[in-house]
Amino acid sequence: MADGAPTPSAPPAPAADATPMIAQYLEIKSANADSLLFYRMGDFYEMFFDDAAVASRALGIALTKRGKHGGEDIPMCGVPVHAADDYLQRLIAQGFRVAVCEQTEDPADAKKRGPKSVVRRDVVRLVTPGTLTEESLLDARAHNFLTALFRAPAKENAEPSCALASIDISTGELIAASVRLSDLPGELARIKPGEVLVGDDMAGDAEIRRLIDEAGAAMTPSPRAHFDSVRGERALKERLGVAALDAFGDFTRAELAALAGLLTYVEITQVGRAPLLRPPRKEIAGSLLVIDAATRANLELARSNQGARAGSLLAAIDRTVTAAGARELASRLASPSTDIDLVNARLDAVAYLAGEPRLRQAVREALKAAPDLARALARLALGRGGPRDLGAVRCRHPRRPRSWSACVARRRGLGLPRELMGIVERLAAAPIGIEQSLAAALHEELPVNARDGGFIRKGFNGDLDEHRALRDGSRQVIAGLQATYADATGVKGLKVRHNNVLGYFVEVTALHAPTLTKPPHVETFIHRQTMANAVRFSTPELAELEARITSAADRALALELDIFAKLVGEVLGQEQALSAAGAGLAELDHYAALAELAAEENYVRPKIDGSLVFAVDEARHPMVEQNLRRGQGAGFIGNDCRLGEESGGGTRILVVTGPNMAGKSTFLRQNALLVVLAQAGSFVPAKSAHIGIVDRLFSRVGAADDLARGRSTFMVEMVETASILNQATERSFVVLDEIGRGTATFDGLSIAWAALEYLHEVNRSRVLFATHYHELTALADKLAHAANATVEVKEWRDEIVFLYRVVPGAADRSYGIHVAKLAGLPAPVLARAGEVLNELEKADGRPKPTDLADDLPLFQATKPAPGLSEPSALEQALGALNPDAMTPKEALEALYRLKTMLESEA
Ligand SMILES: Nc1ncnc2c1ncn2[C@@H]1O[C@H](COP(=O)(O)OP(=O)(O)OP(=O)(O)O)[C@@H](O)[C@H]1O
């Protein structure tokens, strides 16, 4: 059972009075004790005993009873089969696992074995958070990974590490990687699995449980024996049909063990059905920009602080038009690269499409019609596909816009960037024959389920057409019979009707019934039913036609299902080339979307190289910029940031001071976001950008309390600061926002001071450091590679005006009380705060530690805060008003009075 959901207690042992059905239920349930058992009975999945109690609570459905067991009522609840997906989704979202148990034989065959025999049933699938394939259970625009975690055997003098193997069984994507244990949280935050498998030896490790929980995944313990590297290697080779795995990467024993655990679990949950497997991809340490979990959360890369996609960087830049394209974009944004050539090749593709607006529009228009090929193929492979999934293969190529093919033909080998050329080649290599035969076979409009029939075109199969003609022809003959019978009997109101009990029958009113029950008609019409106002008859002719219709319909459906199975077989035979084409379309969509973004939002191509430069001109924050635009207020003010060789004095560290609310955090984060965007292959919101490739990105804010984890603000800050100081390299980019604020002033200042010195001397990373400790500006003057910057504000009539411009130099004061006033702090508190501040600032403007409350930040101010010590007459008058007690007229008069006061004060 995954964490988080209540575990149903074990089923009772079969009692002496157990019916054969309950005995069967209990046997299957005890083999699947950790799952809720969906036990198929006719048109329902039923749940019994404790499963029923738990599920009825979780789903809000009625709990009933069915028979007795051991003298007690058996609790029961059920969900209709046709609506099962909806209920499954709700159970999975609550952390349950569900074993789906189907009838595996025809009830008629069971009856033949004797009156007491039960229909055979078996579990056909375990539904768990990490093994979903149904459209209705998945987010179309996000991957759903199942990840197996394996702790690598400890090596002397080496940091402990672990291997991760992940599969998205809804697309077949398979990835393996090894990470240091300290990087595991970041890696889980990057992959964002729905479910994590761990060996049962690791399942008790509280730290591992916590990490998995924090990644938002369900944890599933698996027998340790499943993580067997020899078995993993063998299984993978067999599945891929290769003699050696070398072509896919150099997998370590630990990675093979993780792969083994993963594949075994997939086999168990899919009960023998083999999902598609793309060739495994090995992610090599160092090839990706390392971003830890805290940084991902802090920069709101895929989720906003509220936990939603809306408001995140991903949502702000996503212009894809297909679900597969959206997944591609999400993966790339989660895993920016450190490979300079690769990043530049990706930027070439975006640049090309950015420079060809007509082609881009044509491609995007055509892609809108492209179906989700990867997920359709995965469902077909697992035997869960329907006609619509075949339909997806049929229109793999959205009708190619002429400009696209012409353009590609013209530029083939002539400057079409490498990445786009690769896509064109994959699309060209996709089998055309299968598409044509599907187009010939399938109707335009397709049902979801094959068992509904009616999806094969007329003219595709002679036999099928014949049976359909017989079925439909007989229906017409039946319709004609009504007139014949009415003429023959002289009963004008005679009707031929149909219901499930009688099949086709003749119906007349009670008044006319005697006509049919007397000779000569009594020979033809056989009495079946007398209702209040009507009498019903059958005839041998109707019965015979009905039998013909039923058998023709059954036969037609059987033929359709045969054809369906053959077409599925053909499609799966070409699955690899089709998948490659599907992946190509997803990539194309994501490149065209990034180009669209660049054009729409005025982003530029960053220059990416191996230097240690970070130089951006007029850079903007993608989310804040879009928010401001929506608010229709003033626009976003772009800001430069220069670090490394291009900074003039070789500045690596920028100490940013400035009032609250001035835009410091925005400035810090936007630069970190530019690194992520650029290395993910996107253009960036700036006038120009030059970024020397970054290996690790850190972004920290003086944290809020993390009470759930039992750590104080300060402890969290220090743990995170420690991880940066221990890991950041010369190639890293570090953003620290008010680190040290969580403790007493001088302690915090001293720690911030020492951390800055360490970053300067030892880590030598590129660093943006925002602080309210004005003392740190002196440090920037002292350190060779540090400089000060501040965010400009203007004072106007005792108000503060934010200019949002980052300029060289240090802030002269904090304006904290001004901001507090903006926030609506009561006037007496503001007045008192002004007095305290004045006191503190006396004696050469330097506060004495003994005079300070422990957590009051230090600010060196050159000017007193004018007007803040006492509220103005206007403020006093305003404060004295009580709007609730005023009539509209009084309110209007008060407004005029205030306005006059304002004018006389000015
Ligand atoms: N460059 C900019 N152009 C326009 N508006 C901006 C800019 N930067 C910030 N803002 C606006 O100012 C608000 C506050 O910015 P931010 O949170 O970065 O300030 P801060 O200096 O970090 O404040 P504090 O010190 O209180 O944390 C933002 O939400 C945004 O609306």
Q: Taking a C-beta distance cutoff of 8 angstroms, is the pair 188, 213 a contact?
A: no
* Residue type (1 letter), 533: N
What is the Cα–Cα distance from 313 to 290, expressed in whole angstroms? Answer: 17
867 is in an annotated binding site: no
User: CA 600 to CA 592: how far, in whole Å?
Assistant: 12
Is 659 known to sit in a ligand binding site?
Answer: yes
| Helices and strands of the chain, counted as H and E runs | 31, 27
Q: Residue 822 corresponds to which tokens in the numbers above?
A: 């903006």
Q: How far, in Å, from the CA of 233 to the mean position of ligand 1? A: 53
> Are the C-beta atoms of residues 49 and 57 closer than 8 Å to each other?
no
> Are the beta carbons of 391 and 385 closer than 8 angstroms?
no
The CATH code of the domain at 602-811 is 3.40.50.300
Q: Taking the mean position of all CA atoms in its chain, how far away is CA 895? A: 51
Positive or negative torsion for Cα 36, 39, 40, 41? negative
Give dist(CA 241, CA 252) in Å, integer: 20
User: 394 near 424, Cβ under 8 Å?
Assistant: no
Whether 812 contacts 818, CB under 8 Å: no
Q: Do 447 and 388 form a contact (C-beta atoms < 8 A)?
A: yes
CA angle 456, 457, 460 (to 5 degrees): 95
Spatial contact of 702 and 713, defined as CB atoms under 8 Å apart: yes
Residue reference for tokens 């690791």: 202
φ and ψ of 489, to 5 deg? -95, -15
pLDDT score of 866: 38
- From ligand 1's centre to the CA of 673, what distance in Å? 15
**Span 140-285 CATH architecture:** 2-Layer Sandwich (3.30)
Whole-number pLDDT of residue 864: 33
Determine if residue 660 is labeled as part of a ligand binding site: yes
For residues 81 and 44, the answer to whether their CB atoms sit within 8 Å is yes
Instruction: Work out which ligand 1 atom sits closest to the CA atom of 669.
Output: 18
Task: Give the position, in ligand 1's atom list, of the atom nearest the Cα of 772.
Answer: 25
The one-character DSSP state at 117 is P
Q: In which residue are the tokens 């045969």 written?
A: 562
Nearest in space to 12 (alpha carbons), one of 44, 51, 41, 54: 51
Q: Which strands, in side-by-side order, build the sheet including 44-48? A: 64-69, 72-80, 44-48, 36-41, 98-103, 121-127
The residues near 578 (Cβ < 8 Å, ≥ 6 apart) are: 373, 377, 393, 396, 430, 431, 434, 571
User: Distance between CA 497 and CA 533 in Å, rounded?
Assistant: 15
Sequence-separated (6 or more) residues with CB below 8 Å from residue 316:
622, 623, 626
What is the Cα 678 distance to its own chain's centre? 22
204 — phi, psi (to 5°)? -85, -5
* The predicted structure's pLDDT at residue 188: 93
* 624 alpha carbon – ligand 1 mean position (Å): 9
| Test site for ligand 1: of 624, 739, 815, most ligand atoms within 8 A of the Cβ | 624
Ligand 1 is surrounded, with C-beta below 6 A, by 624, 628, 636-637, 639, 658, 660-666, 804
Q: Exposed, middle or buried, 71 (CB in 10 Å: 0-12/13-18/19+)?
A: exposed
- Give the residue among 634, 590, 640 at the shortest CA–CA distance from 807: 640
Per-residue pLDDT, 409: 53
* Nearest protein CA to atom 11 of ligand 1, as residue: 663
**Tokens standing for residue 311:** 């408001």
- Comma-separated ranges of CATH 1.10.1420.10 domains in the chain: 336-431+581-600, 462-564
Length of the chain (residues): 906
Residue 861: DSSP 8-state: -
Tokens of 704: 């809020």
3-state secondary structure of 521: helix
Could you tell me if 574 and 431 are in contact, meaning their C-beta atoms sit under 8 angstroms apart? Answer: yes
Helix (H) or strand (E) holding 198: strand 195-199
The answer to the question of whether 662 is labelled as a binding residue is yes
What does the DSSP assignment read for 730-742? TT-EEEEESTTTT
> The tokens of 874 are what?
């206007």
Cα separation, 563 vs 458, whole angstroms: 13
Pocket test for ligand 1, best of 298, 629, 666, 806 (most atoms within 8 A of CB): 666
Q: How far is the CA of 823 from the centre of ligand 1 (A)?
A: 14
How far is the centre of ligand 1, averaged over its atoms, from the C-alpha of 623 (Å)?
A: 12
The two structure tokens encoding residue 897: 């009075």
Dist. CA 320–CA 170, nearest whole Å: 20
**CATH code of domain 20-127:** 3.40.1170.10
Interatomic CA distance for residues 704 and 711, integer angstroms: 10
pLDDT for 75? 93
How remote is the CA of residue 667 from the centroid of ligand 1, in Å? 8
What the block records as the tokens of 773 is 């400790």
User: Do residues 748 and 703 make contact, with C-beta atoms less than 8 angstroms apart?
Assistant: no
Q: How far is the CA of 695 from the centre of ligand 1 (A)?
A: 28
Q: Which two tokens stand for residue 791?
A: 């965010």
> Amino acid letter at 134?
E
Task: Check whether 633 is labelled as a binding-site residue.
Answer: no
Task: Please write the tens of the pLDDT for every residue from 868-883.
Answer: 445 677 877 887 787 8
For the sheet with 653-657, list strands across it. 290-291, 696-701, 733-737, 766-770, 653-657, 786-796, 799-808
pLDDT at 689: 97
Contacts of 408 (CB under 8 A, 6+ apart): 416, 424
DSSP 308-359: SSTTSHHHHH---SSHHHHHHHHHHHHS-B--HHHHHHHHHHHHHHHT-HHH
Predicted complex ipTM: 0.97
Q: Which residues of the chain have pLDDT under 70?
A: 1-7, 395-414, 632-633, 646-649, 702-713, 740-745, 813-814, 843-871, 905-906
Q: Which 3 state secondary structure label does DSSP give 724?
A: helix
- The CATH fold of domain 462-564: MutS, DNA mismatch repair protein; Chain A, domain 3 (1.10.1420)
Q: Whose CA is nearest to atom 10 of ligand 1?
A: 663
Q: What is the pLDDT of residue 400?
A: 46
List, by residue range, all CATH 3.40.50.300 domains of the chain: 602-811
Summarised one tens digit per residue, pLDDT across range 449-489 is 888 888 898 888 888 888 888 888 877 888 888 888 888 88
The whole-angstrom separation of Cα 811 and Cα 822 is 20
Q: Does the annotation list 202 as a binding residue? A: no
Name the segment(s) of the chain with CATH classification 3.30.420.110. Answer: 140-285
**How is residue 782 written in tokens?**
């002292």
For strands 696-701 and 281-283, give the pairing.
unpaired
Residue 395 confidence (pLDDT)? 64
Please state the separation of Cα 493 from the chain's center in Å: 61
Alpha carbon 125 to chain centroid, angstroms: 23
Q: Using DSSP, state whether 107 is helix, strand or coil.
A: helix
Nearest alpha-carbon partner for 97 in 213, 13, 219: 219
What pLDDT does 636 receive?
93
Provide the residue type at 379 as one letter: R
336-431+581-600 to CATH, choices 1.10.10.10, 3.40.50.80, 1.20.1250.20, 1.10.1420.10: 1.10.1420.10
Per DSSP, 242 falls in state -
Q: Indicate which residue's Cα is closest to atom 1 of ligand 1.
A: 637
Peptide bond into 107 cis (omega under 30): no
The phi and psi torsions of 45 (rounded to 5 degrees) equal -100, 120
Q: Tokens standing for 833?
A: 């705060």
Tally the C-alpha atoms within 13 A of residue 41's C-alpha that lie toward its C-beta.
Answer: 15
DSSP-based three-state secondary structure for 700: strand
Contact 516, 508 (CB under 8 A): yes
Please tell me the predicted confidence (pLDDT) of residue 731: 95
